[in-house]
Structure 1
Amino acid sequence: MNMEFLSQYKLYLDAINDALEKEFSVPDLAQKQVFEAMRYGVLGGGKRIRPVLTMAVSDMLGGSRADALRVGCAVECIHSYSLIHDDLPCMDDDDLRRGRPTCHKVFPENIALLAGDGLLNRAFELLSDKRPYERMRADAVLAVIRAVSGASGAYGMIGGQVIDLSCENRTDVTLPLLQELHAKKTGALIRVSALCGCLCAGILDETDKKYQKILQFSAKLGLAFQIKDDILDVIGKEDVIGKPVGSDAKSHKNTFVTLMGQEAAEKELQRLTEEAKAALSGMEDTAFLLSFAEYLLNREY
């Protein structure tokens, strides 16, 4: 990775982490414990790829960085809530997330569940509270709220999770079904993160060429991201990825590796990454997003 990309990525990460740190103080209230659990869940580290995408696309298209940061942090709240719920005993029943105990291992399970609920609601509080946006008009804010709620709901991320649960311990899962599953469970939030960058920059028309290019880029990137996760679950290093290797096989999950084989999955990962980069052809100032796609391709966690 070139130093310019890494420097810019760090600027985004620092801004996102600082903003989340400020948003998630713990008030001295009777329900203090749920705020502590929310803070634990959202400040657990990670690559922050969703808010980074929002900020990078907005920067590329001339939007306000302050507006994109606010929107990106809201999306990250939703992502963090989904991880807390995904780790619960009734779901994947995981003990580790990013190298530390999952939320329900640190707090009572019922508090962890409510912390996830709290983060979901906090996302829309961030998007809709009375603090003024720097440049975004009301119609753009409404478009963001509509897009984010749709991507995280039953037609998007939640729908993908339901399909995922229905596919466990099955031998008849097809590649198209697996692709649909992850286009919703993983891909929907990645796509909307990038599209929010368009909305932050005032591009609301879904037929706009720039909007369509970002949609194509993020759709390919989201699927590539999941394939890489599936590969890392087989060949990754536990101390690097922050959770046990082989957890998918232990849970009898169908993955791109189990359906395609590791070699074919790696080729598909490379193909999707190249197609994601090609989708940005003809656009200006794409250097960061092109490097970001390569970064996700070569990541170790």
Structure 2
Amino acid sequence: MTPSIRTFSARLAESAKLIEANLEALLADNARHGEIARPPRLMAAMRHAVLGGGKRLRPFLTIEAARLFGGESPGALRAGCAVELLHCYSLVHDDLPSMDDDDLRRGRPTVHRAYDEATAILAGDALQTLAFEVLADPDTDADPAVRSDLVLGLARASGLGGMVGGQMLDLAAEGRYGAAAMGEGEVRQLQMMKTGAILTFSVEAGAILGRADAGARQSLVEYGRALGAAFQVADDILDREASSEALGKRTGKDQEKGKATLVDLLGLEGAKRECRRLVETAEAALGEFGDRAQTLREAVRFVAEREV
């Protein structure tokens, strides 16, 4: 890991502390205005899913993207936390026996193992709806048009044309519904939907909160797409090269299920070259922002070079 990436990692870790504190507050036991009660077992499962682990990259990207436009407000932190809640819901459901059937997440038992399958399903449901509640709350932004744009963006990124649709394609890639052979274009589409869409929205949310013009917002979307693709390629490389202990989750799952990744299609060295190309694409998209976007440049390098 290069010195600049080590410095960035320290900054990311410092930001994660603030994000963690806000997530803890959102997942407190006390019922909020408009709620009747918060069932203790459900809250415990939600906290197990969200707290005590993770780099908090997605909310960090939201905060840093908003900062490009002077949007250093509590709203960026809240919007980032909403994206993280949505992301954690997806992990809970992805780990279920009917999906990837995983026992380990972030070095701890998955929610359905720590509690039970029904509780895990409900915890995921509750995290998803809480994410949209946070975005729709006036505390996130006083302008209803901005809040509507945020809700619409997260819904599209996480729904049938984004993450959920990508998960459906992922299940099909395992051969559950017939022929499973996938070409490079199909693998890229799957990964863009399942992983990339939420990462892209994490960046775009900052542009929305910062009232970016259409050109600047599109530049950040292009950056987010390249970052999301680099993230997945790097993840596939780590799945081959890192240990389960280092990653805190089971490795080699795609190989076990015969599911193609870009590592399979391009080879390990080819996948590493593709990752570097995506980093260059992401950095080029930030050209108009100059030195103000240095942290975002470091973020995509971190994504590509991370070791866990």
**TM-score of the aligned structures, taking structure 1 as reference length:** 0.93
Measure how far apart 1:8 and its partner are. Answer: 3.2
Comparing 256-265 with 190-199, which one deviates more in the overlay? 256-265
User: How many Å separate the matches in 2 of 1:226 and 1:117?
Assistant: 25
Aligned to 2:78: 70
Residue 251 of structure 2 aligns to a residue whose secondary structure is coil
List aligned pairs for 1:211-226, cutoff 5 A. Answer: 211-226=217-232
Q: What is the CA–CA distance in structure 2 between the aligned matches of 1:30 and 1:211, rounded to whole Å?
A: 38
- Shift, 1:213, TM fit: 1.1
Q: How far 1:31 moved relative to its partner? A: 2.6
| Pairing partner for 1:263 from 266, 269, 278 | 269
In the other structure, the counterpart of 1:16 is 19
What whole-Å deviation, never above 9, does each CA across 1:79-107 have from its counterpart, x for those lacking one? 00000000000000011111111110001
Distance 1:275 1:23, change over 3 A: same
**More displaced stretch, 159-168 vs 169-178:** 169-178
For 2:68 and 2:294, locate their aligned partners in 1 and report how far apart those are by CA, in whole Å. Answer: 9
1:132 aligns to 2:136 (yes or no): no
Deviates more, 1:98-107 or 1:40-49: 40-49
How many residues are paired up? Answer: 296
Q: Distance in 2 between matches of 1:190 and 1:256?
A: 19
Q: Does 1:25 align with 2:28?
A: yes
Task: Tell me which amino acid in the other structure corresponds to 1:296.
Answer: V
How many percent of aligned residue pairs carry the same amino acid? 39
Shift of 1:244: 2.5
| Equivalent position of 1:172 in the other structure | 181
Write out per-residue CA displacement over residues 148-207 of structure 1, whole angstroms, 9 at most, x where no aligned residue.
11111101110111111111145521100111111110010001110000011012x5xx
The alpha-carbon distance between structure 1 residues 159 and 30, as it changes in their structure 2 partners (threshold 3 A), is: closer
Could you say if the C-alpha distance between residues 136 and 288 of structure 1 is closer, same or farther in structure 2, counting changes exceeding 3 Å?
farther
1:286 is matched by which residue type in structure 2? A
Matched, 1:104 2:107: no
CA root-mean-square deviation: 1.7
Q: Distance in 2 between matches of 1:245 and 1:10?
A: 24
The AA in structure 1 aligned to 2:80 is: G
Aligned to 2:34: none
1:241-272 residue CA offsets vs partner (Å, 9 max, x unmatched)? 11232122123222111222111111111111
Tell me how far 1:136 sits from its aligned partner.
4.8
Q: How big is the shift at 1:238?
A: 2.1
Task: Decide whether the 8 Å contact of 1:136 with 1:200 is kept in 2.
Answer: no
In 2, Cα distance between equivalents of 1:67 and 1:120? 19
Match of 1:202 among 206, 211, 218: 211
- Distance in 2 (CA, whole Å) between partners of 1:222 and 1:247 is 20
- 1:217 touches 1:279 (CA, 8 Å); kept in 2? yes
Displacement of 1:297 in angstroms is: 1.1
Does 1:184 find its partner at 2:184? no
For residues 273 and 94 of structure 1, the distance between their equivalents in structure 2, rounded to whole angstroms, comes to 30
Residue pair 1:67, 1:136 contacting (<8 A) in 2 also? no
Kindly indicate whether the alpha-carbon contact (under 8 Å) linking 2:106 and 2:249 is maintained by their aligned counterparts in 1.
Answer: yes
Q: Structure 1 residues 93, 211: closer, same or farther in 2, change over 3 A?
A: same
Counterpart in the other structure of 1:294? 301
Segments of 5+ residues of structure 1 without an aligned counterpart are none
The one-letter code matched in structure 2 to 1:209 is G
Shift of residue 282 of structure 1?
2.2
Query: Shift of residue 65 of structure 1?
Result: 3.0
Cα shift at 1:237: 2.3
How far does the alpha carbon of each residue in 1:61-94 deviate from its partner, in whole angstroms, 9 at most, with x for none? 2113311000000010100000000000000001
Alpha-carbon distance change, 125 to 297 in structure 1, aligned in 2, over 3 angstroms: same
Superposed counterparts of 1:34-45, under 5 Å? 34-45=42-53
Residue 155 (structure 1) aligned with residue 161 (structure 2): yes
Deviation at 1:6, TM superposition (A): 4.0
Q: Separation in 2 of the partners of 1:270 and 1:194?
A: 20
Q: 2:125 aligns with which of 87, 109, 117?
A: 117
Distance in 1 of aligned mates of 2:169 and 2:139:
39
Three-state SS of the structure 1 residue aligned to 2:68 is helix
